[in-house]
Amino acid sequence: MAGVPFRFPPVCEGPDNIRCDGQFLAVPEGHYDWVHVLAASERRCEDTVELNFADGSVDAEALRVSDFWSAPAWFGEVKAFESLVMHYPHHVQRGVSAVMWAQRVPVTRRAGLAGIRLPRNVAVHLFAVTLQRAEVGA
């Protein structure tokens, strides 16, 4: 989405998203400029992710995700996907669409990123994460 590649697990082979509940995502240690996410929010949400670096430092950065109900992006995200129907655990509601957003979080510290602590906010759902490496010499 928006020129950023994402990989998804095979359909119907386990959960398709993470409800943010303080999980720690270990990442390949490296220098990155952006954490790109495909996300949806049960309500428009602003919360904080903690970027954990190999040197022990931690930076708090904002994660802002607009509501999944079909509406304009509140935080300037890019619309990644829009469904034609709303899928619930036990039924499908026709005529109601949902949106998944492509959003990004800056990595401003010039240290090796080692992990990401997600917010404790189960209204935010992450479907995919891509790390964009820092440009050499930047």
Domain with residue 33: its CATH number is: 2.60.120
126 domain-assigned: yes
Question: Are 34 and 113 within 8 A, CB to CB?
Answer: no
How far apart CA 109 and CA 58 sit, in angstroms, is 9
Integer CA distances (angstroms), 108 to 10, 31, 71, 122, 129, in order: 33, 10, 30, 26, 17
What pLDDT, on the 0 to 100 scale, is given for residue 3? 78
Beta bridge partners of 101: 39, 79
9 domain-assigned: no
Percent of the chain with pLDDT over 70: 93
Integer CA distances (angstroms), 20 to 8, 40, 71, 124, 126, in order: 18, 11, 22, 6, 7
Nearest Cα to Cα of residue 131 among 120, 115, 109: 115
88 domain-assigned: yes
Question: Are 17 and 87 within 8 A, CB to CB?
Answer: no
Q: 78-82 and 99-106 as β-strands: parallel, antiparallel, unpaired?
A: antiparallel
Answer with the residue of higher pLDDT: 51 or 95. 51
pTM of the model: 0.87
What pLDDT, on the 0 to 100 scale, is given for residue 15? 75
Confidence category of residue 71, pLDDT binned at 50, 70, 90 = confident
Domain that holds residue 84: 18-133
Confidence category of residue 99, pLDDT binned at 50, 70, 90 = confident
How far apart CA 89 and CA 91 sit, in angstroms, is 6
61 domain-assigned: yes
74 domain-assigned: yes
Question: Are 124 and 65 within 8 A, CB to CB?
Answer: yes
What pLDDT, on the 0 to 100 scale, is given for residue 13? 72
71 domain-assigned: yes
- The number of domains in the chain is 1
Taking residue 54's Cβ as centre, other Cβ atoms within 10 Å add up to 12
DSSP H helical ranges for 1-91: none
Q: Looking at residues 100-114, what average pLDDT do you find?
A: 94
